[in-house]
Amino acid sequence: MLFNSFEFLIFLPIVFIIYWLFQEKRIIQNIIILISSYIFYGWWDYRFLALIVFSTIIDYLIGLRIVETKSEFQKKILLFTSIVCNLGLLMFFKYYNFFIDSWVDLLNSIGYSTENIWTLKIILPVGISFYTFQTMSYTIDIYRNNLKPTRNFISFASFVSFFPQLVAGPIERATNFLPQILNKRIYNKDQILQGLRLILWGLFKKVVIADSMGFVVGEIFGDFENQGGGTLWLGAIYFAFQIYCDFSGYSDIAIGTAKLFGFELMSNFKFPYFSRNVGEFWRRWHISLSTWFRDYLFIPLGGSKNTKLISIRNIFIIFIVSGLWHGANWTFIVWGAFHAVLFLPSFIGKSNRKFIDIVALNKKIPTFKEVFFILRTFVLVTIGWVFFRSETLTEAFTYVWHMSNPTYFTISPNIKLFFYMVLLIILEWNMRYDERNPLKFKQKPLRIIVFMLIITLIILNFGSNPQQFIYFDF
């Protein structure tokens, strides 16, 4: 079930009303959450519900067993079992064909001609990359004594399958979300209004901007060899806006929907295209994933506490694994490595944490220097998106090479898309202090105009070009 579908417009109010009818019955509310989450997920393919249930049972039992056992060795075996089960599911459904194909290609490249008979017709279960990471973090936190396991299976299953963030995050931590599941929720009008504003803002980014950009991006990337350099730059910029509005739009709707039920999910985006260097960009882009890798991979590897050489190795591991997480394709691996290269100068020069606060703090407009830094970061990130969007490495490198072709536009710039991009930049610039409170302008006339404009654009675009969220494929 898509957030931008008529089915969800019917599904959400029904669940909301039934849920708050049992305001004093936390256990019944959790059962409602669990059932509605399984309906939401099963809408795509009910057969894959078995994977979520399997992952839920495994980590629920292992979490309890880790606390009960006294042997450190047995605790490690239990943790290892949880990781193998979760990563095993992920590796089989997401990466099996990729590794087989890569192995066959390697043999062929060195002269051992062989026919590939081992690849399978595997359908990638929606959201598997998200909920496996979420359940793994639960077990790891228990092993580290950062969290006590819950004996309430319904509550734990609700935590794993919570439908607003089940298929594309944010990847929640049990330390933040499980206590909310276990405690009573209070009907809070302000929280609900805040959630509705987030849903509206997320729908605008997805339905109006991302879906409108998607068709033009497909047209340019699908015929890039016959396009001029200007058009290819335009296609890359369009995709930069498409993927941002697609994914951050989903996150806004997810966080907003969770608020309707009295929950607070972690922020996933904090205006990343206003970043002044790549280090700042990664503190503002897909925060739940980057902090997951930081806490469960980068720091255990030694982080930046060892020698400079080992720290650089760790940075490359993190970025490459992060790239591979996005998809079973060499393009994602190169995309990750590309960002590692972009990040290194600021890490070596110790300026990666130079920009902590939002740009132009307490000012209405940025300085020329800040504008230069923002544009420089955006251009570098946009070049990286070419690898992310391309089907093969050959296509990606050819696309980037052709971007240097000094020809004019072979496809006329789309005025409507330019208007959407400018509107997004203006609105986000004014909202940049608080990503959880969009569209909260002090001046009432301005607020009314913006709301009317956004609602009108959503209505005009809703259902005309519906596209699946890009991160559903990850």
Q: What sign does the CA torsion over 182, 186, 192, 198 have?
A: negative
Cα angle, residue 220 at apex, residues 219 and 222 outer, rounded to 5°:
65
pLDDT score, position 410: 74
Could you tell me if 178 and 417 are in contact, meaning their C-beta atoms sit under 8 angstroms apart? no
- Going by pLDDT thresholds of 50, 70 and 90, the confidence category of residue 320 is very high
| HSE value, Cβ hemisphere, 13 Å, CA-based, for 317 | 17
Once rounded to an integer, what is the mean pLDDT over residues 272-289?
A: 95
**Which are the catalytic amino acids?**
326
What the block records as the tokens of 149 is: 């396991």
- 292, pLDDT greater than 90: yes
pLDDT score, position 108: 76
The mean pLDDT of the chain is 90
- Going by pLDDT thresholds of 50, 70 and 90, the confidence category of residue 374 is very high
Could you tell me if 472 and 291 are in contact, meaning their C-beta atoms sit under 8 angstroms apart? no
User: Which of the given ranges, 151-160, 168-177, 223-232, has the highest pLDDT on average?
Assistant: 151-160
Which DSSP category does 262 fall into?
T
**Better-scored residue on pLDDT, 332 or 3:** 332
Question: Which positions ≥6 away from 312 have C-beta within 8 Å?
Answer: 344, 347, 348
Once rounded to an integer, what is the mean pLDDT over residues 174-192?
A: 93
- Model pLDDT for residues 339-356, shown as the tens digit of each residue: 999 999 988 888 888 888
Q: 391-395, 404-408, 434-438: lowest mean pLDDT where?
A: 404-408
Report the C-alpha gap between 427 and 119 in whole angstroms.
47
- Going by pLDDT thresholds of 50, 70 and 90, the confidence category of residue 294 is very high
- Model pLDDT for residues 229-247, shown as the tens digit of each residue: 899 999 999 999 999 999 9
Could you tell me if 44 and 126 are in contact, meaning their C-beta atoms sit under 8 angstroms apart? yes
Could you tell me if 58 and 29 are in contact, meaning their C-beta atoms sit under 8 angstroms apart? no
- 434, pLDDT greater than 80: yes
